[in-house]
Chain A
């Protein structure tokens, strides 16, 4: 159990995919304007990450590794993730049309989202077992959610400042500056895992 807890805390706080590894920046900046769509997007990412790991890990260990085809990793993983996202979109359109409407263009963007691909590939690189990989995927997704929700809060304050922001900084520039500061704050978590689980 301690091992899983370490993985989760590490994935959420220390190696946060958005704020420490800088993966998945597109949805981080694109969907974080509103809290509810940020939350919905994060749920979709958690779901896709977990499912993608659940599918890609066996493919890697069962098919690619025994045949010495590690180099196919990226291609095969993207193929599988793309199909998965498509599947989820079809299902979402049917059962959760409101969420589908809210996510709009960002759901297909998960297809080529480097955070999702990153989780699946890093799970292999870290030599995690199947269970560890799944836990790491969930933790990474939770970390993504934490970053999104935090940042949507920061952003709503930035939006509220309105015209008090210098004109040259309005819009994307101030958002990027805010993102950088939020990211710096996460550097404070480095080393926390070793301290917590001594």
Chain B
């Protein structure tokens, strides 16, 4: 019975406080901001910050009162853009769907570790320790810091590297911020070919430490018909604006450093099923 009194006292105080708050909210009610409420209601509420604002509330406020663009919500995509535009009474600009890719192919078949890392099992911690456990200091560490921040379950670790399922990814870019090696980039959904490597090391060194690394041979640059690929500092980069996803570079790459998202997603799905 000794528990009854404390519970009653705390509960009673809480009840009195809540009654006072309700009365205060009624008495001092502000005229509701309908526009804000409407827009906020349309947003997904993930608070990912992909729009560049501090969260969904902040973005809704910016749209309603400071004329922010209506198509900035990446996770919401076209449907949210349309709904927000309708609420504001402006024509919807198309929001381009995006997804994240991991610029690393150094899985356990391609590269080795130089140490048995037994510290805190996180990429950030491991990366602080002599630039990570891998023989390639630029590669994916595979402890899943990106998985921890992904709210959509789109990322899995397959054969020691992070793989993102395009079907589940909404392109919010939280993982890109979490990756200590900055391997993850958010690219337009229409672009399906990307470079699976982030190493700026010299070709000979990259070759030595990873079978799948970009060695900067420029074969892709030469073979690309639309000039979408440039090789700078021993690393190929594909411009998604120019790329037509023809796949020529994928075939020509001697180390298979250029990959298609289809092959990666298959790996991710294979792991999931």
Task: Give the B-binding residues of A (Cβ under 8 A).
Answer: 59, 63-64, 67, 69, 72, 75-76, 79-80, 82-83, 86-87, 90-91, 93-95
Contact = CB atoms under 8 A, between A and B. Distances in A.
Contact of A80 (B5, B6, B17): B17
A123 to B, nearest CB: 18
Interface in B3-32: 5-6, 9-10, 13-14, 17-18, 20-21, 24-25, 28, 30
Given A83-B17, A86-B21, A72 B6 contact: yes
14 contacts: A59-B13, A67-B9, A72-B9, A75-B10, A76-B10, A79-B10, A79-B13, A79-B17, A80-B13, A83-B17, A87-B21, A91-B28, A94-B28, A94-B30
Nearest to A87: B24
Nearest to A105: B54
Contacts of A82: 17
A93 B18 contact: no
B5 A67 contact: yes
B57 to A, nearest CB: 11
A82 B13 CA distance: 12
A142 to B, nearest CB: 27
Given A69-B9, A72-B10, A76-B9, A90 B28 contact: yes
B44 to A, nearest CB: 22
A58 B107 CA distance: 65
Given A72-B6, A87-B24, A90-B24, 12 more contacts: A64-B9, A69-B9, A75-B10, A76-B9, A76-B10, A79-B13, A82-B17, A83-B20, A83-B21, A90-B28, A91-B28, A93-B30
B91 to A, nearest CB: 32
A91 B26 CA distance: 11
Contacts of B6: 69, 72
B8 to A, nearest CB: 10
Contacts of A90: 21, 24-25, 28
B254 to A, nearest CB: 42
A69 B21 contact: no
Interface in B89-118: none
B13 A76 contact: yes
A139 B13 CA distance: 27
A90 B21 CA distance: 9
Nearest to B17: A83
A158 B14 CA distance: 44
Given A72-B9, A87-B21, A79 B28 contact: no
